[in-house]
Structure 1
Amino acid sequence: MDLNELRKETPGCSNVIHLNNAGAALMPQPVLEVIQLYLQEEANHGGYETADKWAAELATFYDTAAQLLNTRSTNIAYTTSATDGYNLALSSVPLKRDDVILLSENDYPSNFITMLSLQKRLGIRLELVRNTPSGEIDLEDLESCIKKFNPRLVSLTHVPTSSGLVQPAAAVGEITRKYDTFFLLDACQSIGQMPVDATTIQADFISGTFRKFLRGPRGTGLLYVSDRALQAGMEPLMPDLRGADWTSRFNYQPRVDAKRFELWEKSSALMIGCLESLKYVLQLGIREIEARNALLCEYLRTELATIPGVHLMDKGAHPCSIITFSVDGKEEAGTKEYFRNKGINIYTISKNSAIIDYQEKGIDWAMRVSPHYYNAEIELERFIEVMKEWVS
């Protein structure tokens, strides 16, 4: 991994110290260029015509995404975001009144809101699985809850937005496979910074986004759909002519593969950018990315722990490339702007994005930094320097 070359290929590195990769990473030049090229061709020749010209290249998106997730192209759908993919998957679960969905206490806030909406509309029941003392979902309690409630679905967020906790997704998959329940994994914060292996995890659905650690454009995502879910006939609540064929006046036939979860209209320019971002990650190697990020995070956690008034908030046996911390005597308002004025992008998380987690931690908000492999050590040193100035 040539850091100098990576930074040359990242135009934003000359403008800012970007430590908000869990929000939206800086796109590399090859991703930016192919999107611009595609849009220029659309402007010159027409949207449908350009899509026809690029059809073969666009089709390789599925093989390339499948390579990253260790699955087959028939199990991959292109979506407009992780939330879009999550909701499409959720809509395929045949829920009725009093059906139970199991959630962890660290699920993604958007997922919680969606579940609460379903509870209000359909009368389903939501049950929370306990955490272990170290913060991860309690696997014994999970199995006990499955036996007790016979849930229709288990929903888990691999890495929450509010901390660097990494949930034991493969162990959850091992448990759910033993029972008549489906497993939906939100991997929006994990894909691109660590291996997400669909075969090992054994989830029925895995949703992800490109704007974060995959370094793709915003407004894009992917959805993995297992053979088990496809063979069970699971399909989105409102398919269109991309995901199904209209076979007679009052009948339609869904596609046999995961593309039944796609809608016909999408930005092909952004999709080709996603393909380029996948190639970029695969060329570097996801294990190499994970190892590089671990070094950056070890430095940051060590240095932050030495600053008076700073309290690291991440739980879990193996925290990832998301670091959250509270700061005594500081307010959330104006924090991002302070660092932005110093040429550093960070992020803050409010309690309303982590109701359960932050109530237990006794905080109203936290700072979040999320380095990625293209960040240089000198950038982290500068961030620590500014942190010390800010808290003093």
Structure 2
Amino acid sequence: MSSPLSPAAIDAMRARTPGVRSTTHFNHAGASLPSAATLEAIQAHLLREASMGPMEAGAAAREQTERARTLAARLLNAQPVEIALTTGNSAGWGAAFAALGPWLAGQRILVARHEWGGNLATMRLLAQRAGASIETIPSDASGRVDPRALEAMLDDRVRLIALTWLPANGGLINPAAAIGQIARRHGIAYFIDAAQAVGQLPIDVVEVGCDVLAGAGRKALRGPRGTGLLYVRRDFLPRLMPAFVDTHSAPLDAEGDPILRDDAARFESSEASLALHCGLANALEEALDIGIDNIRAQIDRTAQTLREQLAALPGVSVLDQGVERSGLVSFNVAGLDAMSVRHTLAAQGIAIGSNGVAYTPFDMTSRGLTQIARASVSYLTTGAEVDKLLAGIRTLAR
């Protein structure tokens, strides 16, 4: 049974996290603070490269890549052959999207209004060339994507349903499994951007019903920047032809013909950083040891406390929507732009994030928002850190 973490457990993990000694970090949704063991795993491999030679050290450390793949599969309730290790969320999502192949005029892509701006840019470039369309699925009264409204939009021209599970501009959590049931029933490809969800929410890709799910290592997982996970459902893989391959993803046979890999590693490159894979493997193991259910419970408790206390501050508007909410807490301070709030807090040693329209354009525009300040918590976040953040914002709000 899941439960929030004890103060003693949090203190022990913070003692093994160097960054907490130099920053009050509320930008875990941008990139979290790695543990000392994750840093040591990266550094140890870099030292092996320096002493043995990078290629020789790489051969010796391949087992860490497979360890990361196996742990990622366990995290998502997938098979290891369904996991590719990528350089980040956008790289994985974009590679899978490009692999869908040619599009035809009139074909439709349906997205929730919370779709990540980087994904929209990728889809729009293609849609403009092919004459396809991108359409927004209505949201319900809580702000979440509405599964019933989605079903009413479907016809035989819909080729892809794309969902950003946890939007970048606030704490809303979309009903990913309900969307998956509709996608499966109609045989439509379903892609999930889980950049903020991986490591923060329990994820079962079978239950969710997605064909592709992309995640980042640097956020809730506390892995190194430059790492990501890409899940591709095994039965869906034959429908994806990578836009480019190399000697790892499609080695040549004796006749010189490329043999495309029959697992998700067809989306990997021989130029991957094995040092970062070592760090990712350690971060995955740490998260699984803590328990994602426990992580979720701890983050939810801290984020709810922060929301309630922020909402009580004069001049502060909490902007989160949804029914179930994540560890991203969005707000604005009256009379101040979000970037100024961010910079002023940074001068006090407090790190938060800030987003503009380009990050989530459909949602921000529909809600009349031009910017948001974002304080995102981790299971490492303490009550004392929340108090420090609130004191800083209270001063600004005056």
**Bin for the TM-score computed over the shorter chain:** over 0.9
User: 1:69-127 CA deviation, whole Å, 9 max, x = no partner?
Assistant: 01110110010010000011101213322221111111001011111111122222212
User: 1:5-40 CA deviation, whole Å, 9 max, x = no partner?
Assistant: 111011011111100000000111110011011101
1:289 aligns with 2:289: no
User: 1:185-208 CA deviation, whole Å, 9 max, x = no partner?
Assistant: 000011111112111111000000
Q: Return 33-42 or 236-245, whichever deviates more.
A: 236-245
Alignment of 1:262-277 (within 5 A): 262-277=268-283
Structure-1 residue corresponding to 2:251: 245
3-state SS in 2 of match to 1:246: coil
Structure-2 residue corresponding to 1:235: 241
Q: Return 32-41 or 330-339, whichever deviates more.
A: 330-339
Q: Return 55-64 or 66-75, whichever deviates more.
A: 55-64
User: 1:277-301 CA deviation, whole Å, 9 max, x = no partner?
Assistant: 0001001000000001111111101
Do 2:332 and 2:338's aligned partners in 1 also have CA atoms closer than 8 Å?
no
Alignment of 1:78-227 (within 5 A): 78-98=85-105, 99-146=107-154, 148-227=155-234
User: 1:200-228 CA deviation, whole Å, 9 max, x = no partner?
Assistant: 11100000000111001111101001022
Distance 2:275 2:333 in 1: 42
Structure-1 residue corresponding to 2:343: 337
3-state SS in 1 of match to 2:354: strand
- Pair 3,91 (structure 1): closer, same or farther in 2 beyond 3 Å: same
Distance 1:66 1:96 in 2: 31
Report deviation, 1:361.
Answer: 2.2
1:55 aligns with 2:62: yes
3-state SS in 2 of match to 1:334: helix
Do 1:207 and 1:223's aligned partners in 2 also have CA atoms closer than 8 Å?
yes
Matched AA of 2:315: G
Do 2:26 and 2:376's aligned partners in 1 also have CA atoms closer than 8 Å?
yes
Report deviation, 1:315.
Answer: 0.8
Do 1:100 and 1:149's aligned partners in 2 also have CA atoms closer than 8 Å?
no
Report deviation, 1:249.
Answer: 5.7
Report deviation, 1:144.
Answer: 1.7
Q: Which runs of 5+ in 1 are unaligned?
A: none
Q: Which runs of 5+ in 2 are unaligned?
A: none
Distance 2:339 2:113 in 1: 26
Do 1:336 and 1:345's aligned partners in 2 also have CA atoms closer than 8 Å?
yes
Report deviation, 1:171.
Answer: 0.9
Matched AA of 2:309: E
Distance 2:29 2:313 in 1: 23
User: 1:296-333 CA deviation, whole Å, 9 max, x = no partner?
Assistant: 11110110011111111111110110000122111234
Q: Return 251-260 or 213-222, whichever deviates more.
A: 251-260
Report deviation, 1:362.
Answer: 2.1
Do 1:310 and 1:326's aligned partners in 2 also have CA atoms closer than 8 Å?
yes
Q: How many residues align?
A: 390
Q: Return 283-292 or 330-339, whichever deviates more.
A: 330-339
Matched AA of 2:165: H
Matched AA of 1:56: E
User: 1:339-386 CA deviation, whole Å, 9 max, x = no partner?
Assistant: 011110011111222222222222211110001001111110111111
User: 1:121-178 CA deviation, whole Å, 9 max, x = no partner?
Assistant: 22222122111111111111211222x3531111111111111111111111111011
Do 1:326 and 1:363's aligned partners in 2 also have CA atoms closer than 8 Å?
no
Distance 2:55 2:209 in 1: 37
1:31 aligns with 2:38: yes
3-state SS in 2 of match to 1:178: helix
Q: Percent identity?
A: 32
3-state SS in 2 of match to 1:253: coil
Structure-1 residue corresponding to 2:362: 356
- In the superposition, the TM-score normalised over structure 1's length comes to 0.96
Structure-2 residue corresponding to 1:40: 47
How well do the aligned residues superpose, as a CA RMSD in angstroms?
1.3
Distance 1:90 1:297 in 2: 33
Structure-1 residue corresponding to 2:376: 370
1:388 aligns with 2:374: no
1:298 aligns with 2:308: no
Do 1:129 and 1:142's aligned partners in 2 also have CA atoms closer than 8 Å?
yes
Q: Return 240-249 or 112-121, whichever deviates more.
A: 240-249
Structure-2 residue corresponding to 1:255: 261
Distance 1:315 1:259 in 2: 37
Do 1:235 and 1:261's aligned partners in 2 also have CA atoms closer than 8 Å?
no
3-state SS in 2 of match to 1:292: helix
Matched AA of 1:102: L
Matched AA of 1:216: G
Distance 1:185 1:87 in 2: 12
Do 2:250 and 2:259's aligned partners in 1 also have CA atoms closer than 8 Å?
yes
Report deviation, 1:250.
Answer: 6.9
Alignment of 1:12-23 (within 5 A): 12-23=19-30
Distance 2:45 2:135 in 1: 46
